[in-house]
């Protein structure tokens, strides 16, 4: 029986971690958007650029759920793969990463729910109001729901990004803070990782701000 060396198995494990992160992010995004789209479809049709031309609420939420989270999931997966499987200390078990990601998703969901309730109540009580540029494009009865959805999405992004960064740091620290990436990559693989992270970051910025 042929034995698989550790250095031969690492690329496969890193790919598994990236795919796991993308799957987790997209699954959360799709479920999240299926709910919020039914609370206020205008959040997607008015407050977002018309990237997807469909009259189906389900399909629109599916497309946005994937588009808005795939890049973030890929970026998190690449960093997690590097900090958990880099050369040096014993690799971090993928099973523990899976549990940590599930816990992060649960915290994100709870935060989104609480933020959504807060946004609705603050809007309904007159403490906050919908941005003036959107107020005229939405039916008055949808203003409170729009703020609820806006708060819920904001909480998901904030908690997800902060939680993902904290997860990467904790894994890196648990492995003894190994050297993961240098400022100036010395190999093609390192340069590819840097390029991928830069491309994903640029895509996220464009999707959220430049495509309006």
> pLDDT truncated to tens, each residue of the chain (212 aa)?
444 445 545 688 999 999 999 999 999 999 999 999 999 999 999 998 888 888 999 999 999 999 999 989 999 999 999 899 888 888 999 999 999 999 999 999 999 999 999 999 999 999 999 988 888 889 999 999 999 999 999 999 999 999 999 999 999 999 988 877 554 455 666 666 667 666 766 666 665 555 44
Q: Quick one: which of 71, 185, 155 has its CA closest to 147?
A: 155
Q: Find where tokens 């997209």 sit.
A: 26
Rounded CA-CA distance 82/87 in Å is 9
Q: Are 37 and 60 in contact (CB under 8 A)?
A: yes
In this structure, the number of other CB atoms found within 10 A of the CB of residue 16 comes to: 16
pTM reported for the whole predicted model: 0.83
Q: Quick one: which of 21, 157, 175, 151 has its CA closest to 98?
A: 21
Distances (CA, A) of 100 to 38, 129, 191: 29, 36, 28
Instruction: Please give the torsion angle defined by the CA atoms of residues 201, 206, 207 and 211, in that order, rounded to the nearest 10 degrees.
Output: 180
Radius of gyration of the chain (CA): 20
């Amino acid at each position: 029986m042929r034995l698989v060396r550790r250095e031969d198995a690492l690329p496969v494990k890193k790919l598994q971690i990236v795919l796991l992160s993308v799957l987790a992010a997209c699954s959360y995004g799709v479920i999240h958007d299926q709910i919020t789209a039914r609370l206020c479809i205008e959040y997607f049709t008015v407050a977002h650029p018309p990237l997807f031309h469909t009259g189906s609420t389900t399909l629109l939420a599916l497309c946005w759920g994937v588009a808005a989270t795939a890049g973030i999931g890929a970026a998190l997966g690449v960093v997690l793969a590097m900090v958990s499987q880099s050369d040096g200390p014993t690799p971090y078990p993928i099973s523990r990463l899976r549990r940590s990601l599930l816990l992060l998703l649960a915290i994100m969901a709870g935060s989104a729910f609480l933020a959504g309730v807060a946004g609705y109540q603050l809007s309904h009580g007159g403490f906050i109001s919908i941005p003036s540029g959107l107020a005229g494009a939405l039916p008055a009865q949808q203003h409170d729901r729009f703020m609820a959805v806006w708060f819920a999405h904001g909480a998901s992004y904030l908690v997800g990004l902060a939680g993902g960064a904290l997860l990467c740091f904790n894994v890196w620290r648990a492995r003894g803070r190994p050297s993961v990436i240098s400022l100036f990559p010395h190999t093609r693989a390192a340069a590819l990782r840097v390029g991928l992270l830069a491309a994903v970051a640029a895509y996220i910025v464009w999707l959220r701000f430049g495509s309006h």
